[in-house]
């Protein structure tokens, strides 16, 4: 048998006290200069690339995700806060019969003079006030002024600035979560978070599930370690918690992107091209039932149904729950009465009613919505904690807490990787550079194509991705320049003149 020899390892370095110093981990730049040979299949080359991308996104996108998680956690409690803060505006004690809706609108007009009537919302229960909403000059875009009217005596109990159907508390937290109160510019922060959350989750899942394990250790995918403290235990919690909550993270990322500024526009175009746009009733007089009003545009003497009659017609046609009535915009427009129940099961049916004849000219049932439109509606309402009520809010709060914990565990692992001796660095080392050079060409080509497509449709995913690549290349170039071999210093013998003429080496003599 041939005897084999192995290199003898060098003795361990010693510190000032003579104690052995543990060796430094590999430099993060060594992998860039001499990447691992392309062998062992596609995963062995792809895993280092995923690890490096997961690291960059975790460190640099993490703050965006943390802000989104904290503000989202605060938002989950807003329904209960509003029910307490605005109880006077929202609730009344039933007494007698309700006054006509037209009288309630007149009272609201007197409270908000000069406002343009937008809608009237009739509550589900007898204790609910009637909301009368107006467009008012001087308010920020998307905001309206709403009067809350006691339906039993037509007295205005208060008026509030609203954003859609949200009252001030919820609209403030909603704006904080979406824009940090920075307007359109602030929307970029939440879009970056939504654009990268899914990438972090899928990349982390691939790294966690793809890590080598025996069958006996399969349970450690789902159950965090209880062993000694340290980076391995933190990694175990990071991976197991991420696996359990991954579906929630992906759902929040997908639904958050649907109403983002840049990606949302592209998603909307794709949805429309696939026939998944949310339908709406036509408000033109003369549709349906062969009715065309009074054989022409209704004049001043044409009989017009009032708001209560429009509600009665809608109820008779099957609409129920909370109703929103939009009055005709002009003489050629209809009433639109729509359900606005956003908990499960959704009630979003709507009808258009001719104001002169009381005929239903158009009808749209939620059951007839395209599947994509239904999924969008369900996803948005679930994201906002509306679809399943309190249970939905609790789940969202748990997901937000889990995301906050995941981020802190990620930063802790980075901190635990920091060099503790013989180094001026204070933060943890990243994975080795050059991971992209280890990926097989047959795997790299589709990755580039998929990355380019995603960058086109999700601009705030693509822009940071390009920045990561440029930063990685820049840091690698800087490291190469620092580690380049320097000329050896001249020896004392080489500095001695090679002949007997001192003028050849004496600057003063040469200057003469």
Q: What is the pLDDT along the chain (512 residues), one digit of tens a residue?
A: 444 433 444 444 444 444 444 443 433 333 333 344 444 567 777 888 899 899 999 999 999 999 999 999 999 999 999 999 999 999 999 999 999 999 999 999 999 999 999 999 998 899 999 999 999 999 999 999 999 999 999 999 999 999 999 999 999 999 999 999 999 999 999 999 999 999 999 999 999 988 766 555 677 788 888 777 888 899 999 999 999 999 999 999 999 999 899 999 999 999 999 999 999 999 998 654 444 444 444 444 455 899 999 999 999 999 999 999 999 999 899 999 999 999 999 999 999 999 999 999 999 999 999 999 999 999 999 999 999 999 999 999 999 999 999 999 999 999 988 766 555 556 666 666 666 667 777 778 888 999 999 999 999 999 999 998 888 777 766 766 666 666 655 554 444 444 444 444 444 443 44
Lookup: tokens for 330: 């002009």
* Alpha-carbon dihedral angle through residues 192, 197, 199, 204, given to the nearest 10 degrees: 140
- Annotate 362-375 with b (16+ C-beta within 10 A) or e (fewer): bbbebeebeebbbb
This prediction's pTM = 0.81
Q: Which residue has the tokens 């001695």?
A: 496
Helix (H), strand (E) at residue 392: helix 389-416
Q: Domains plus CATH for the chain?
A: 38-86+178-211+237-277+390-418+430-476 (no CATH), 88-166 (3.10.450), 279-368 (no CATH)
- Find all residues with CB under 8 Å of 259, minimum gap 6, and list them: 380
Antiparallel, parallel or unpaired: β 130-135 and 143-149: antiparallel
């Amino acid at each position: 048998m041939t005897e084999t020899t192995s290199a003898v390892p060098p003795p361990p370095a010693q510190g000032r006290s003579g104690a052995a110093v543990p060796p430094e981990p590999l430099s993060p730049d060594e992998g860039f200069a001499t990447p691992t040979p392309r062998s062992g299949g596609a995963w062995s080359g792809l895993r280092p690339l995923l690890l490096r991308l997961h690291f960059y996104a975790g460190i640099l996108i993490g703050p965006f995700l943390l802000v989104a998680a904290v503000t989202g956690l605060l938002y989950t409690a807003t329904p209960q806060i509003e029910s307490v803060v605005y109880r006077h505006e929202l609730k009344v004690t039933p007494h007698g019969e309700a006054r006509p809706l037209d009288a309630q609108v007149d009272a609201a007009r007197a409270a908000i003079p000069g406002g343009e009537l937008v809608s009237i919302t009739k509550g589900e229960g007898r204790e609910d006030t009637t909301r009368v909403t107006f467009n008012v000059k001087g308010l920020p875009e998307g905001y309206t002024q709403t009067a809350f009217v006691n339906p039993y005596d037509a007295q205005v109990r208060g008026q509030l600035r609203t954003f859609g159907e949200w009252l001030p508390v919820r609209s403030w937290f909603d704006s904080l979560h979406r824009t940090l109160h920075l307007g359109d510019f602030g929307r970029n922060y939440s879009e970056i978070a939504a654009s990268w959350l899914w990438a972090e989750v899928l990349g982390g899942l691939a790294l966690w599930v793809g890590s080598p394990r025996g069958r006996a250790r399969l349970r450690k995918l789902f159950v965090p370690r209880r062993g000694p403290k340290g980076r391995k235990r933190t990694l175990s919690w990071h991976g197991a918690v991420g696996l359990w909550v991954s579906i929630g993270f992906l759902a929040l990322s997908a639904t958050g992107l649907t109403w983002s500024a840049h990606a949302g526009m592209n998603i909307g175009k794709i949805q429309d091209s696939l026939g998944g746009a949310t339908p709406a009733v036509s408000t033109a007089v003369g549709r349906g039932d062969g009715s065309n009003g009074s054989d022409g545009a209704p004049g001043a003497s044409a009989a017009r149904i009032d708001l209560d009659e429009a509600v009665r017609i809608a109820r008779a046609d099957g609409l129920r729950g909370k109703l929103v009535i939009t009055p005709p915009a002009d003489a050629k427009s209809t009433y639109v009465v729509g359900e606005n129940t956003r908990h499960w099961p959704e009630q979003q049916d709507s009808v258009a009613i001719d104001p002169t004849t009381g005929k239903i000219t158009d009808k749209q049932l939620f059951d007839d919505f395209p599947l994509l439109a239904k999924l969008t509606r369900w996803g948005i309402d679930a994201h906002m904690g509306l679809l399943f009520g309190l249970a939905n809010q609790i789940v969202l709060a748990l997901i937000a807490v889990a995301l906050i914990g995941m981020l802190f565990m990620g930063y802790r692992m980075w901190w635990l990787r920091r060099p503790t001796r013989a180094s001026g660095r204070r933060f943890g080392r990243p994975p080795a550079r050059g991971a992209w050079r280890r990926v097989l060409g047959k795997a790299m080509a589709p990755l580039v194509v998929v990355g380019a497509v995603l960058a086109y449709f999700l601009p705030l995913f693509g822009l940071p991705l390009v920045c990561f690549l440029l930063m990685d290349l820049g840091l690698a170039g800087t490291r190469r320049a620092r580690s380049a071999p320097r000329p050896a210093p001249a020896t004392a013998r080489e500095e001695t003149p090679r002949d007997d003429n001192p003028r050849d080496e004496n600057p003063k003599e040469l200057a003469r």
